[in-house]
A and B are shown apart, each in its own frame.
Chain A
Amino acid sequence: MESVLITRNTFKASKGRLQNPGDFLFKNLTRFFAALILVLVVLMAYEMMRTSALSWNKFGFNFFIRSVWDPVQDEYGALPFIYGTLVSSLLSLIIAVPLSLGIAVFLTEVAPRWLERPVSFFVEMLAGIPSIVYGVWGFFVMVPWLRSTVEPFISKYLGFIPLFRGAPYGVGMLAAGIILSIMILPIIASISRDVLKAVPRSQTEASLALGSTRWQATRIALAYSRSGIFGAVVLGLGRAIGETMAVTMVIGNRPTISASLFEPGYTMASVLANEFTEATSEMYISALVEIALTLFIITIIINSFARLLIWSVTSNERAQKA
């Protein structure tokens, strides 16, 4: 800490002196590139707003609550896609959150040091696998398995619930939710682990000293870091909302709204992936860009929110890790 102070004072002192021209140039050059990132984000938003203006002017807010998607008549409404995105990502959270919390607790509380490293390595490997690989695997391995084994089994015993009604296609919301949950699991797990590690040791020790078991102490640690964990979950949600390739390959790509998880659906990201190349009319492109803009804004809000939560919990040094 002391050394930092010295360095800082050195710079302050150097302000009075004649500055080295190289220093001036270098500082402003790096600052220029840093500013480029700000400009880039603004430019991205501006470009999409410009291109989607046509569709926004024609449909207005109705774009988000209409469920027509008819390129021939140039009538567009994004509701089925918004619905599909919401349902598939919420489903993935339901599956991924308990699992990743379990992993985070295992890594911080249970695992001995020699086990901690390989386990976190394997979990991080899951994050490194490209989306398209998940897609290919889901398409050829998971979907047939869902169709032949899981979905008939569920509908046999839980078929009375509307969620599990309908023919077992294999592709559909359930498949998308499962594949998404595998993909967002590592990010939730690793950030929760960091957040849990940032819990002061004294918290755990105090509760152990009062005679609680280790699980009860862990629960206190979990409660202590709940806003950070919430941030991790929200970050995972952001990932799930924007995930494209894997979802496109397993969700079935049908713009319908149905209560059953077995039915095919469509998401905002996958409609972009599927229809952009064939979009010919200006209105079509404009409507698609508006969907992209919506995704952009949603993920920016979600990510800002999550980052703020995580930053506020972990100390400065740790927060930047995530």
Chain B
Amino acid sequence: MKEPKRLKRMDNYRFHFRKLTSLFMFTLCGVSVLIALVPLILIFYRTVAFGFSAINWDFFTQMPKPVGESGGGLANAIVGTMILVGLGSCMSLPVGIMAGIYLAEYGNNWFGQSVRFLTDVLNGVPSIVTGVVAYTVVVLPMKHFSAYAGGVALGILMIPTITRTTEEILKTVPHSLREAALALGIPRWKTSLQIVLRTAMSGVVTGILLAVARAAGETAPLLFTALNNRFWNTSMNQPMASLTVFIYNYAVSPFDDWIAQAWAGTFVLMTLILLLSLTVRFATRNKFAGNLL
């Protein structure tokens, strides 16, 4: 009777070992969540700590001061970012929304499938590459940097986001709604526009906001398209300042004043992003959480 007893003890041992391994591995998973939260918290902390002290009313209303003079603000950069994102939206909204409608309403064929695929692929193309394309298409022929070029770069960037979110959200509209409209004799195009699109409007707007937020935070494609401008400028044909490019230029500069303003700009940018993602989160109530990344 000795043998079985030892076996039983072995079994017990292995059972506990397996239990412990399980516990250990799941603890590691929890730890990795904590590790991922560390940079997030640190980034928020630094941005608030450095940015909030540097921010004041002048930051939003004054122009950049020359080197050596303290004070001043980035009013032109803030307006510039708005103009550039507006230009990008003008270009990407029609394309993105219409293509999204096509994919959702008629896209169940090889053409729709390949557009969907390419849109996803385009989404993964680095933003700096779209900047290079805007440079070769707009800057080289015009022979100077301009807001148009920056708008084109941002527009290309925004198209995939808008297309895919529009499609996803239109697809969540129940089929019965479409059928009801069609049964009443409403033409299909009116159904798409006035029933389906209108039902999903808040979702579509959310997608647009997301694309706008992303575009407003982009730096790389603007570096050599819209360039930068230290002066007030609303002409599309001239180089244009943007908040992100200013942050970049100021952050790598040797002047404490400029570095402080870079942090202030970072703070403004982060506030914007945080507000937008909270809006998105509450507007969609976790319905489309996965596809809004």
Contact = CB atoms under 8 A, between A and B. Distances in A.
Interface string B156-177: 1001100110011000000110
A30 B105 contact: yes
A109 B179 CA distance: 40
A45 B137 CA distance: 12
A285 B286 CA distance: 46
Given A30-B106, A106-B32, A20 B121 contact: no
A55 interface: no
B26 A215 contact: yes
B18 A307 contact: no
B124 A299 contact: yes
B189 A27 contact: yes
Contacts of B263: 136
A140 interface: yes
B232 interface: no
A167 B19 CA distance: 45
- A50, A128, A299: residue with the most chain B Cβ atoms closer than 10 Å: A128
B76 interface: no
Chain A interface, >50% SS class: helix
A210 interface: no
Nearest to B190: A22
Contacts of A229: none
Interface residues of A, number: 106
Contacts of B292: 124
B90 interface: no
Interface string B253-293: 00000010011001001100110110001000010111111
Given A6-B179, A102-B28, A110-B30, A133 B293 contact: no
B129 A3 contact: no
B22 A214 contact: yes
B33 A137 contact: no
B120 interface: yes
B161 to A, nearest CB: 12
Contacts of A245: 219-220, 248
A272 B98 CA distance: 33
Contact of A37 (B132, B163, B182, B244): B163
A186 B120 CA distance: 17
B99 interface: yes
A10 interface: yes
Nearest to B135: A276
Given A245-B220, A322-B290, A38 B136 contact: no
B290 A249 contact: no
A8 to B, nearest CB: 8
B31 interface: yes
Given A34-B112, A38-B114, A276-B224, A244 B176 contact: no
A33 interface: yes
Contacts of A130: 214, 217-219, 244, 269, 273
Interface string B106-149: 11000110111111111111111111110111001000000000
Interface in A3-36: 3-4, 6-7, 10-11, 20, 22-23, 25-27, 29-36
A243 interface: yes
15 contacts: A3-B176, A10-B179, A20-B188, A31-B106, A37-B115, A37-B122, A37-B159, A47-B133, A130-B273, A133-B266, A134-B43, A135-B248, A212-B18, A299-B125, A303-B124
Pairs A-B, 5 closest by C-beta atoms: A242-B126, A130-B217, A102-B32, A26-B189, A215-B22
Interface of A: 3-4, 6-7, 10-11, 20, 22-23, 25-27, 29-38, 40-41, 44, 47-48, 50-51, 98-103, 105-106, 109-110, 117, 119-137, 139-141, 182, 185-187, 189-190, 194, 212-216, 218, 235, 238-239, 241-245, 249, 269, 272-273, 276-277, 285, 288-289, 292, 295-296, 299-300, 302-304, 306-307, 318, 320-322
Given A140-B259, A185-B36, A296-B129, 6 more contacts: A7-B182, A25-B189, A126-B36, A132-B244, A276-B223, A304-B117
